[in-house]
Structure 1
Amino acid sequence: MKKYINKLFLLGSLLVLGTSCDSEAELTTLKAVSFPSAIQVSSSTLVLTEDNADENALLVSWPQVTFPIAAPVTYAIQFDLIADTSGSNAWQKAKRIEVGQDVLSKAFMGIDLNKIAIDLGLAPDVAGKLVVRVEAAMDRKIYSDPITLTVTPYEKSVVFGEIYMPGAYQGEWNVDKALALTAISKGIYQGYVSLLPGYGSGFKLNTARTWAQFYGAGDTNADLKNMSDKDFNLPGEGSYQIKVNLNTLKWSATPYAWGIVGSSTHAPTPEDKDYGWNHSIPMSYNHETKTWKVTAKLIVGALKFRLNDKWDVNYGPADPLTNTINKDNGGAYDIPEAGTYEITFTINDVDPASAGYPATATCTIVKK
């Protein structure tokens, strides 16, 4: 009898397991998912030039893709040569740009699109063909039908030179010690500045370290006007990437700050046990030494560096015994003792938009 009871128990278990598997299979069956309509581009013929390198050149937009599961959809855009989009290695050489969750468009500046085209092998000053498609990902990845673009890229000129930014952020309007904005393209200059609490926001732009010729604000704060007495103004306290385009007589300030991050920067909180890893402490930029710096109270734990309070660009030491830190390295410095530390970060990131971020940077961590 016991033998038959055991057989019945085993049979029942198999029936329950089978029912469970059938139910699970129904829940996770991959139903067909596709883009409901074609993606759109603002133009399919693009002639890129250095003069308009920092202006929007292409807008790619697409319809929302609906998956069987109600969850955010992550979108990305891929560019490739037509010849590399077929066969067993199709799209393997594509340039992929992740856009984000539930975002349905992406604009590309001329400088960014030019780098993509050149990196893929299009010849400068010659019209060539690229294809672009959109990737949607959740429990799997699906792709839109591609669109063909005719793109004429430019060859970036070897440029030299600087312009200067005297202003109240210095504590004095001293053109001799003012921030130097470095030429990154023909007529386009870029640099970094920090506006500390208590300092004014006004500044001018000078083509030499003299007051013989300068630019002030024109019709708006973003417009350059030759010899205008009206000051430009930074948006407020904080650190910024400054870009000036003398071709279009425009300038912009984009929030931009390196920071320290890790378990040494903050104790866990009841709401966030990884608070130190999720919140950077921003550093301020010294334009004279070209160094980012912060004085902070640290606790025992780990420390590394990242840009704009995100993990997109970060540096950690491959060898914690050195002051060299490596891009996208998972390593971190060990802070063995709590206290006040002075931390510096030095990086040659003059033109990250087209040249990328360097493989290494340097830092110092000194207990005061």
Structure 2
Amino acid sequence: MKKLIYLSIVLFAGLAACKKEAEITKMTTVSFVSEPTVSKNAVTLSKSNDTSSVVTFAWPAVKYPVKASVTYTLQIDVPADTVGNNAWANAKTVVVGKDVLSKSYLGKDLNTMALNLGLTPGAQGALVVRIQSYQDQYAYTKALTLKVTPYQPVAVYPLLYIPGNYQGWNPGEAPTAAALKPKIYEAYIYMPATENYYYKFTTAQDWNHINYGDGGNGAVTGDGLAGGLVAPGPGYMQLSINLNTNTWSAVKTTWSILGDASPGGWDTDTQLAYDPAKKVWSVTCDMKRAGSFKFRANNEWKIDFGIDADGKLTYADSPVYGNVSGINNITVPSDGNYTLTLDLHDPSNYNYTIKKN
């Protein structure tokens, strides 16, 4: 009898223990206690803020029943992809880390994200962002909206080199040509008076790699035995080569400014002078704050520069790269006498300066 009572007690205790254990492991639904925040609602991106923090997302911690690390992830998408049966299926996911409660973006990283999600460069678009937490189950915040205006970054392509008779046919010391578009190269080269103005484009600073010469009928060829291309020297040459079409061009240029900020208004060009030692064009003249101007070649609107939204010197018209709409004219900050310079010697960094005297 005592044995039977003892077994009953043991069995009852075992059942009670099982019941208690089930209560401990019962899953509790978790959630964010408040919504995420963003440091600003709209961001305009440009080269100037590529390496700066442009926006920061923050969120509260989620408390799970078990005291262990919680992994947080950002999900970023366009609004159209966050509704319907496949909502958020195409979202970009960014794992922030364990127990991390904020995420900042550099301009270049947010720009890449926006372009990858299909936003149009130069136009404001919307991104939606939510935060996901995970330990033994997922929890999500409501989505917040960030307005983003991305920009199209300029791709960097390998340089070409331009040896020629004007510099002793030495590719090791030859000036370079750069590409603003795939396989379309350009450079501005000063060629002093010499017996001829032949030159070539080379892919390296030697003659052991591809070099492009005259293929006849306005074409170029990679046949190393081909003759040189010829520029209309002496003078300041715009040299180009298009390896998509295997064509080339060489145009002799002089430079001026034209506009109602300049002495000649919109009717008469004010000429710049070239300094071979400094490799720049310049002019000193009286300028007006109320007007504007552009730099242009050969007193015509075939090759001319304005500035983009970031103030960088940019082609408005170019037979090599085509015409660009929306390029602004250049202004001076106040009436007065200025020295203006145009520097085209580095094909990767065309620039200008305005200095009040």
State the TM-score, normalizing by the size of structure 1.
0.39
State the TM-score, normalizing by the size of structure 2.
0.40
